[in-house]
Structure 1
Amino acid sequence: MGESGTRQTAPAHARGKTVIIGSQGRMGAMLIQRAQAAGLAIAGADVPLTPEKLADACAGAAMAIICVPAAVFDEVTAAVCPHLPPAAVLADITSVKEQPLRQMERLWAGPVVGTHPLFGPNPEADADLPVAITPGHHAGPEHLALVEGFFADLGCRTFLTSAEKHDQAMARIQNMNFITSLAYFALLAGQDDLLPFLTPSFRRRQHAARKMLTEDARLFSGLFEANAHSHEAVRQYRQMLNLAAAGDIDLLCERAGWWWQEAESEGEHEAESAGRRKGRM
């Protein structure tokens, strides 16, 4: 069940078939693979998405999950909907939720549920696999249970949120990570005189940003532009830079320390325990 409620998910055999649209993409293929490993009823369809192929894949489906890029999302969803059973749940996995939900609700009269797996197509074997669930129109408890049950069987942890709250969070977490790294490395680009001064911490950041700013740059650029809250997040970040320019570094350090306060508290507790044990010796 999801973190936010006590809803009971239906057993796998009772949930019916799920069809993955975009089954040969990285995320679609991962969902197919994990669903097959879990013994779920699963079907897939990928380009060319002919009416015949869609009709065959969608026949008897309880849920369809759209796993295609934002640029073709509307077109693909419009092609899929005529082939779905009237009661089927239409879902997606895009990294923004407000716009895709509006698109799906415009094209599908049945239940709509947005999802966002907060991990990539090749997670570590023991990784936490959170999935945000955002209810759309006509999505009742039974439809949410269907979606949550599917991801739970894949080994994921689901939680409910709104599309707006999701997009506000992703603007600050995903999009700001991209745009600040992009601006930082763009600022330093072409300055050969800096190369002798590179430190291990710089190289770690460079290594961490490489894939995002090269192979996945177009993907993240599209996500930044598709999220209505991205520019507000940039404005908030600019306020932090203004504090740095004004010399308020201690204030920034104090604020940033929030991310590690739990670890510091645990460390202090362990130190106190060790001191008590030593005192008893």
Structure 2
Amino acid sequence: MPELPNELDGLSESIEVIDKQIVELLAQRAELTTKVGEYKSKSGSPIYVAEAEASIITSRKSEAKRQGVSPVLIEDLMRRIMRESYHTKSTEFLCTNPDIKKIVVVGGAGALGRIFVDLFKRSGYQVEVLEEGDWAQSESIFEGAGLVLVAVPIKLTEIIISRLTQLPRTCILADVTSTKQKPLTAMMKAHQGPVVGLHPMFGPDVPSLVKQVVVVCHGRETEQYEWLLQQIRNWGGILQQCDAKEHDDAMVFIQVMRHFCSFVFGSHLAGENPDLQQLISLSSPIYRLELGMVGRLFAQAPALYADIIFDNKDSVAMLTEFSVKFNQALALVENSDKEKFIQQFTKVSAWFGDYAKQSLVDSKQFLLKADDDRTLSEER
């Protein structure tokens, strides 16, 4: 079949033309979504609306089915395209409270503080930053402030808050620490005006606040800082409200245990010293993801994770109980008690309920992405 190579070349050229058209269409779409984002931001409309996104995806999946294209592929593609459209750095946001004359971010030169400084400035507020060397001028810096946001390391938060006793009465005092009971108590003691505790559930590497969770723990005079919560919504953030104790109790499971387990796993790997590249190359997507999450921890500041683990008052008790469960599970393996293992497995599965089944579905997308990212350099 001598004509086959020429036919294949022709097909490849046609695919290349279509690929270029796809890129051109994506560029046109990005230009339009940028304009939509700018309009929404300036008008105060939310950047992200869950119902609208779901409607778009449902519609495109239906079209895909009619065209004989995989709806799963189209959903994956549309979610990726829309995620990219949310992350434009040029967007300016509507200022929800023009009466605020000044916002002071204590620790605004830090990684997390810089995010809020940037967002407030892009929303039209006058922003000043107070760092360690600026306390001699703190009186003039705080003068006229409508909001003081504390964004310093956990170990410094209460110390810094204790120095904020001369803020204007109507000034809002807020923090963005990953623990909430102690900072909120300290703020209520130091300041007689509006107080609110915030916990951004993201790191300093996020491209935007779209779909990012911010936990809100109310303190005092909630009506006075409603504009701040609306401002976060305008940035695309999702607010989850709970009291400070509920927050700290949840963080033991969400942060402390997860980070501690990753730390121990990483420490064990380093101690055993296996060939890391071989582990990566031999791993299926799910194990590469798990290994990647452990590796991610050790690419970040150790002091941050030390503070998260050590500062929560319930850390020792919960981690001790976890070690008991670990040893009990280990005993099943030592005793070759597969039947008891299966019984416990079934019991835990029942506790997770439908979430386990949904997780199985949701994780497929993560695994496909991990598989796509496998490079030729990993082949050995």
Whether TM exceeds 0.5 here: the answer is: yes
Shift of residue 239, structure 1, vs aligned partner: 5.4
Residue 150 of structure 2 corresponds to residue 69 of structure 1 = no
Q: TM-score of the superposition, structure 2-length normalised?
A: 0.59
- 2:172–2:225 Cα contact (<8 Å) kept: no
- Are 1:143 and 2:224 counterparts? yes
Amino acid at match of 2:111: R
Which residue among 250, 258, 265 is the counterpart of 1:184?
265
Partners of 1:15 and 1:196 in 2: how far apart?
53
Question: Quick one: which amino acid aligns to residue 133 of structure 2?
Answer: P
Measured in 2, the distance between the counterparts of 1:195 and 1:39 equals 48
Q: Which residue of the other structure, out of 115, 119, 122, is the alignment partner of 1:37?
A: 122
Equivalent residues of 1:134, 1:160 under 8 A apart:
yes
Q: Which residue of 1 aligns with 2:49?
A: none
Residues in 2 aligned to 1:62 and 1:30: alpha-carbon distance in whole angstroms: 19
Q: Where does structure 1 lack aligned partners over 5 or more consecutive residues?
A: 1-9, 267-281
Q: By how many angstroms is 1:105 displaced?
A: 2.3
Distance 2:206 2:262 in 1: 23
Of 105, 117, 122, the match for 2:200: 117
Whichever residue aligns with residue 224 of structure 2, its letter is H
What RMSD in Å do the two structures reach over aligned CA positions? 2.9
Q: Which moved more, 1:224-233 or 1:62-71?
A: 224-233
Tell me the distance in 1 between the aligned counterparts of 2:227 and 2:307.
30
What is the 5 A alignment of 1:128-207?
128-136=211-219, 139-192=220-273, 198=279, 199-200=282-283, 201-207=286-292
CA distance in 2, matches of 1:190, 1:202: 19
For 1:270, the equivalent position in structure 2 comes to: none
Structure 2: where are the runs of 5+ without partners?
1-94, 333-340, 363-380
1:221 corresponds to: 306
Amino acid aligned to 2:157 = F
Distance 2:186 2:98 in 1: 30
Deviations 1:202-244 (A, max 9, x none): 4433322224235322211111111122234324534543563
> Which string of whole-angstrom CA distances, capped at 9 and with x for unpartnered residues, describes residues 238-270 of structure 1?
45435633323444455456544336689xxxx
Asked if structure 1 preserves the Cα contact closer than 8 Å seen for 2:100 and 2:146, the reply is: yes
CA distance in 1, matches of 2:249, 2:276: 37
Which is further off, 67-76 or 190-199? 190-199
Q: 1:98 aligns with which of 165, 174, 181?
A: 181
Work out which of the residue numbers 115, 139, 142 in structure 2 matches 1:58. 142
**Range with bigger deviation, 202-211 or 160-169:** 202-211
Higher-helix-fraction structure: 2
Asked if 1 retains the 8 angstrom alpha-carbon contact of 2:349 and 2:356, the reply is no
The verdict on how the C-alpha distance between 1:197 and 1:251 changes in structure 2, with shifts beyond 3 A counting, is farther
1:215, 1:69 → 2: CA distance?
14
C-alpha contact (below 8 Å) 2:210/2:235 kept by paired residues: no
Q: Which amino acid aligns with 2:186?
A: Q
Q: Which amino acid aligns with 1:170?
A: M
Aligned residues: 254
> SS state of the match for residue 173, structure 2?
strand
Residue 185 of structure 1, CA deviation: 2.3
The sequence identity of aligned pairs, in percent, is 22
Check if 1:21 corresponds to 2:106: yes
Contact 1:243 1:252 (8 Å CA) reproduced: no
Distance verdict in 2 for CA 1:195–1:63, change over 3 Å = closer
User: Contact 1:21 / 1:65 at 8 angstroms: preserved in 2?
Assistant: yes
1:150 shift after superposition: 3.5
| Relative contact order higher in (CA < 8 Å, ≥ 6 apart) | 1
Normalising by structure 1, report the TM-score.
0.78
